């Protein structure tokens, strides 16, 4: 899944936007999925969950097991029973990619927007927009973790100010390089955290095993200053020391002065080690 930043129009996107409420939610309408869609989900799940057991952070694997969704596209109301008890999060169905302000408002209120439709058969390996497999399989298991739960709420609450300060790109990179494409150190090993990686067969192996790709220690300002690729595997990844790392490093950070100082500067190119930097171990 590759999300363009600062989308304000939903025209040209896949999904039934005409049916959506003002907050862009729709009914999941689970009974409308044809048997082929459930079968496609089952195959995607089998492939990606096997990879995740080797490559993903244990929090992801545990969360995935708790959601018990191997055999069919999950019913969001079933997931909500698990989520509410764990962290107070909910998922809400949306037609697809939604405008930034609506997206942030949902996150700020612990509602995670999950796209209703599933990719087609010819898109099993790659698609541009988020679908229910990326959104649910990739993101929802992590919502059961208290650190990720708090981080996403904080990110949602920070959205309005970032938009007002014309610094959305800087803030969006924090989401991109953690929630979507983050790596995390666990028991001395490098593991996948991000939903964009864990929902992709090719990138899961690449992000962890490729000896050439640049992996840098997570640093909020470095992340906010780094461009990202939306149409290829990432040229660099950032490595957290643990899931608590992202929230503890951000909760007391005043983004305002950072936006003021850096929003007008060209971003650092992805994949380039800067002077004085050392890659993550
Ligand atoms: N909408 N459904 C959906 N999923 C996203 O990941 C998403 C979005 N709207 C805006 C958005 N992401 C990003 O532009 C923000 O995180 C900056
Ligand atoms: Fe995503």
CA distance linking residue 166 with residue 169, whole number of Å: 8
Alpha helices by DSSP H, listed for 56-90, are 58-67, 76-87
Report the residue among 3, 17, 169 best suited for mutation to probe ligand 1: largest number of ligand atoms under 8 A from its CB: 3
Confidence of residue 13 (pLDDT cuts 50, 70, 90): confident
Q: What domains can you pick out in the chain, each with its CATH number?
A: 30-262 (1.10.800.10)
202 Cα–ligand 1 center, Å: 23
Confidence of residue 14 (pLDDT cuts 50, 70, 90): confident
Q: What is the mean pLDDT of residues 30-38?
A: 97
63 Cα–ligand 2 center, Å: 16
Confidence of residue 159 (pLDDT cuts 50, 70, 90): very high
In which element (H, E) is residue 124 found? none
Q: Would the CB of 180 count as within 6 Å of ligand 1?
A: no
Q: What is the pLDDT of residue 9?
A: 56
Lowest-pLDDT range of 168-172, 246-250, 267-271: 246-250
Q: pLDDT tens digits for 95-124?
A: 999 999 999 999 999 999 999 999 999 999
Which atom of ligand 1 lies closest to the CA of 172? 17
Cβ proximity of 94 and 127 under 8 Å: no
Distances (CA, A) of 14 to 10, 94, 116, 119, 129: 9, 11, 11, 10, 8
Q: Is the pLDDT of residue 8 over 60?
A: no
Q: pLDDT tens digits for 212-245?
A: 999 999 999 999 999 999 989 999 999 999 999 8
Torsion of CA 52, 57, 63, 69, to 10 degrees: -10
Confidence of residue 252 (pLDDT cuts 50, 70, 90): confident
């Amino acid at each position: 899944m590759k999300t363009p930043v600062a989308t304000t129009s939903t025209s040209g996107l896949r999904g039934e936007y005409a049916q959506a409420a003002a907050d862009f939610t729709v009914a999941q309408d689970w009974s409308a999925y044809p048997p082929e869609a459930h079968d496609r989900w089952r195959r995607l799940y089998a492939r990606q969950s096997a990879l995740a057991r080797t490559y993903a952070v244990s929090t992801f694997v545990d969360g995935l097991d708790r959601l018990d969704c191997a055999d069919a596209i999950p019913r969001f109301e079933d997931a909500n029973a698990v989520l509410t008890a764990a962290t107070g999060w909910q998922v809400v169905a949306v037609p697809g990619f939604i405008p930034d302000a609506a997206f942030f408002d949902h996150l700020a209120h612990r509602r995670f927007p999950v796209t209703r439709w599933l990719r087609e058969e010819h898109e099993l390996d790659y698609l541009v927009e988020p679908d229910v497999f990326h959104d649910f399989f990739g993101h929802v298991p992590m919502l059961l973790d208290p650190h990720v739960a708090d981080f996403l709420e904080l990110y949602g609450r920070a959205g309005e100010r970032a938009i007002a300060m014309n610094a959305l790109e800087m803030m969006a990179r924090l989401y991109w390089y953690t929630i979507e494409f983050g790596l995390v150190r666990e028991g001395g090993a490098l593991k996948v955290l991000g939903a964009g990686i864990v929902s992709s067969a090719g990138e899961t192996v690449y992000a962890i095993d490729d000896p050439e790709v640049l992996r840098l220690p997570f640093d909020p300002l470095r992340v906010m200053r780094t461009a990202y690729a939306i149409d290829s595997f990432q040229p660099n990844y950032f490595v957290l020391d643990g899931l608590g790392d992202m929230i503890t490093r951000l909760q007391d950070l005043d983004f305002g002065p950072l936006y003021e100082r850096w929003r007008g500067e060209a971003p650092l190119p992805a994949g380039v080690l800067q002077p004085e930097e050392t890659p993550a171990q």
